[in-house]
Amino acid sequence: MDNNKLKKEIISYGLVILGSLLFAVGDVMFVNPYHLAPGGVYGLANVFNALWGWKISVAGVCMDIPLLIIGTIILGPRFGIKTIVSVILIPIFTFILESTWGYRPVIYDGEFMTEATHTALSYMDGDVERFFVPDFFLNTVVSGIIYGVAIGVIFRAGATSGGSDIISMIVHKYTKISLGVLVLIVDSCISLATLFIPNGSIRLPIYSIVLIYIESKIIDLIVEGFTTYKTVFIVTDKIEEVKDFIINDLERGGTCFSGIGLYKGQERRMIYVTLDRTGLVKLKTNMRYLDPNAFVNVIESSEIMGLGFKALPKEGE
């Protein structure tokens, strides 16, 4: 392994360690005190902790490792070393935080109390039950950001956090139901399990789902970056004017090709171009002057690789 690859591997494993630590921080210090369950194995572990007092780390590892073994047997060796490292590190960091910090909340709206009220939540401080007034909205937002950064960093390192996604992959193999739909179903069922928590309410699964949404957006931001691109198809009779504007004003290339209109069967010229947000705004503003009768279709592009954009991956990456 040359120095370049070695450096990348060291950085990747560093990201796995960082992501695993952040995940444990988010779970123990933010998610668990509010009895939330934003999907995944550790969401279910939080429910078990609230119901029976099981340690999150113990419940998590007791589900994660068997799932990893079963997934490897059924799906093949698709889970790499970094995923295994992540599956091991998350419960270790979680156990350390449980043993040192406990389940005290970081965010709360009101001093800790010695007895329950109708607005209070509780956590165990050793053998003593303590109560606090929760701030659900702020805690959910912060939890979603921490979870999203943690999982996004792990994904950027080329690993996953294992967990309930493996269940979705196995079901997908035999049912051919969309993997995205299966992940949503599994995570939603885990979030709905918070309804069984004593003194819980409908707000627990609702806030858990909001957390999942925030988390997913942060993951996209970490994995795909801050720059967003749009793919634009333009059908126009003023092909030269539009082409010159894209090349000279937007300083972008593109592809021009012909097609046949369905209604009249006439040949039409089209331009295919990928733009960032600024370029798209300029194009939309000027299209009314270039060709007010043009047809413009804008498509979200999750990843663009090639000349002028993100470099194509090298061999082994």
Predicted local confidence at residue 163, as pLDDT? 77
Predicted local confidence at residue 16, as pLDDT? 93
User: Do the beta carbons of residue 204 and residue 253 sit within 8 Å?
Assistant: no
Instruction: Report, at the CATH architecture level, how domain 229-301 is classified.
Output: 2-Layer Sandwich (3.30)
Q: How many residues does the chain have?
A: 317
Report phi then psi at 37, rounded to 5.
-145, 85
Predicted local confidence at residue 314, as pLDDT? 60
**Exposure string over 189-216, b if 16+ CB within 10 A, otherwise e:** ebbbbbeebeebeeebbebbbbbbebbe
Instruction: Kindly give the interhelix angle for 40-52 and 179-192, rounded to the nearest 10 degrees.
Output: 10
Nearest C-alpha neighbor of 32 from the set 102, 131, 87, 130 = 102
User: Do the beta carbons of residue 136 and residue 57 sit within 8 Å?
Assistant: no
Q: Give the predicted TM-score (pTM) of the model.
A: 0.79
Report phi then psi at 291, rounded to 5.
-160, 95
Predicted local confidence at residue 196, as pLDDT? 92
Biggest CA pair distance of the chain: 80
Q: For the chain, which residues make up each domain, given as ranges?
A: 3-224, 229-301
Predicted local confidence at residue 316, as pLDDT? 46
Q: What is the pLDDT along the chain (317 residues), one digit of tens a residue?
A: 577 888 888 999 999 999 999 999 999 999 999 999 998 899 999 999 999 999 999 999 999 999 888 888 887 776 778 889 999 999 999 999 999 999 999 999 887 777 777 778 888 888 888 889 999 999 999 999 999 999 989 988 878 777 777 887 788 788 877 766 787 788 889 999 999 998 778 999 999 999 999 998 898 888 777 667 889 999 988 999 999 999 988 888 898 988 888 778 888 889 999 888 788 888 988 888 899 989 899 988 766 766 666 666 665 45
